[in-house]
Every structure is written in C-alpha cells, then in structure tokens.
Amino acid sequence: MMQHKQHSRKRKLPVQCQAEGQSDYRTRSKQDVRVVVAGSTGYIGKFVTKELINRGYNVVAVAREKSGVGGKQSREQTQQVLFDAVH
C-alpha cells in the first residue's frame, strides 16, 4: 500500500510594485479607495455595490444598458437601481 505524503503549501502573495509616494490601498481611508464593480445590477453585484457604498467606499458601478438579472431592466431602471444604492 502506497502512502501519500501531504504537503502544506502556503500561497505567496504577488509582489506589488508601487510608484514612490503612493500608499497601499489598505492604508487609505475608505472614501479614498475606488472600487470597480462589474455586473453591479446582477443578483450578487447589487448587494455588493450597496454594501460597499454603505461602508463608505468610492464605487464605480459597471452595468449593461439592458441589465439586471436576466437582462430584463431598461436603461432607466438600471440607473434607478444604482441611484437607489447611493440614497
């Protein structure tokens, strides 16, 4: 019978290059951090977008013109969903 040896693999984080004078996003205040949410009116995206806004992040919401779950919302409905998240 062959025994398998388990290896503990630790993931290494990628090295981040930063220009001089720039701070890491983790050290900035929330309103100074811009977060892009693709699919912001989808099933999960709408909750993520609202939560990020409620937590004070600067959110850029990306959505198709005919958007929402299944692409059933018009452009005006999509804009209203995103507007409602802010207010």
Taking only the tens place, the pLDDT of each residue in 54-87 is 899 998 888 777 666 677 777 777 777 777 766 6
- The answer to whether 59 and 53 have CB atoms below 8 angstroms apart is yes
Structural domain boundaries, residue 47: 25-86
Please, which residues bridge with residue 59 across strands?
Answer: 35
Residue 29 lies in a domain: yes
Higher pLDDT, 31 or 18: 31
Render pLDDT for 5-24 as a digit per residue (tens, 0 to 9).
Answer: 555 566 665 655 555 566 67
Lowest mean pLDDT among 35-39, 46-50, 61-65: 61-65
Residue 53 lies in a domain: yes
Count of domains forming the chain: 1
Backbone angles phi, psi at 5, to 5 degrees: -90, 125
What is the pTM for the complete model shown?
0.59
Residue 82 lies in a domain: yes
4-20: buried (b, 16+ CB within 10 Å) or exposed (e) per residue? eeeeeeeeeeeeeeeee
